[in-house]
Amino acid sequence: MKILSIVGTRPQFIKAAMVSKKLREKGIKEVLIHTGQHYDLNMSDVFFKELNLPKADYYLGIGSGTHGEQTGKMLLEIEKALLEQKPNIVLVYGDTNTTLAGALATAKLHIPVAHVEAGLRSYNKKMPEEINRVITDHCSDILFCPTEAAVENLKQEGITNTANNIPHSLPLVVNVGDVMYDAALFSGDKAKRESNILKDMNLESKAYVLATVHRAENTDNPARLMEIFEGLDEVARDIPVILPLHPRTRKKLGDIKFSTSNVKLISPLGYLDMVMLEKNARLIVTDSGGIQKEAFFHKVPCVTLRDETEWVELVEAGVNVLVGADKGKIMQGIGRMIEKEIDGNLAVYGRGDAGKKVVEILTSWHR
């Protein structure tokens, strides 16, 4: 069996590393395509190194651009690689333009598509990620869901085959748990051993807030971006706020001529340094889907700078609160969550063996 995996962004590197490790243990040949959607060194190369992810067989170097331009270029180049490699199955991850391009190119060549992190829904079609994940799911033959809620979302859209006997008819829907939980278990001790970020930044554990802002709904809306940074700037008067700045966010801040005097802006971080900052933060403030979960896995309360989330179980459990991009709600949410204790025992994300289950199912299905 030959599996071709398609990645392009930080969250995909993390997820793919957990599956790739299990593929190598089984002796299964994997061909890896990196589209180049995240091309900054600290958002790409360092992740491959720290996660022990094999060097990409294809680096497409697509980089930034409009959604149509980026996706179209990826489609063209991914199709060439697929025709050359002729894989048995193609693995795509998450909800980015890389995910969509990979799924579309593969499906049109009648090669089976397996989607890791299938079934998530925010029900906000203004988010490009929502469009990507819905179309990818409906192109996919095997849908690896992280939670039962994701399985239920697919059932509502008519994708319902959850039979246990393999081989069987497609599409196949399976709750394997969350590969990001696998990654959290893998990275926690490794970060403690190898990262010096707290010492280098002179930070004390549980004495700072970690923030990230990168999602288009926030960065591309000047009013929302201003509200977010004004709120963070106010909070930073009382407790240090550390914000690794995404390249797109840095550009947009320059466009609106906003200069924060209190928030400490730093360059994008490698995986282990970011994990170390997450584990030791008193609170995480983010608009990232993945970091919402990483906060929970590391037992840190979270405030989410969005109006909705695909990870509804975290909000329902009271470990995450949605505040949108309103300055007052941001400050209120931080004040409410900053002293909250998290036990981290929400079992809906599985047992940390999602990567193993993905490979077992792919192997059984191929036979």
pLDDT tens-digit readout, 326-354:
999 999 999 999 999 987 667 889 999 99
- What average pLDDT does this structure show over 282-311? 95
- pLDDT tens for residues 8-47? 998 899 999 999 999 999 999 999 999 998 766 555 778 8
Band (pLDDT 50/70/90 cuts) for residue 169 is low
Q: What is the mean pLDDT of the chain?
A: 92
pLDDT of residue 216: 87
The residue-averaged pLDDT of 168-183 equals 89
Cβ contact 31:2 at 8 Å: yes
Tens of pLDDT, residues 132-156: 999 999 999 999 999 999 999 999 9
Tokens read off for 65: 């651009």
Q: Which two tokens stand for residue 39?
A: 């091309």
Closest by Cα among 103, 90, 91, 105 to 139:
103
User: Catalytic positions, please?
Assistant: 214
**Domain spanning 2-178+351-366, CATH class:** alpha beta
Tell me the domain boundaries of the chain. Answer: 2-178+351-366, 185-348
The CATH homologous superfamily to which domain 185-348 belongs is Glycogen Phosphorylase B; (3.40.50.2000)
Give the mean model confidence (pLDDT) for residues 61-81: 92
Fold match between domain 2-178+351-366 and domain 185-348: yes
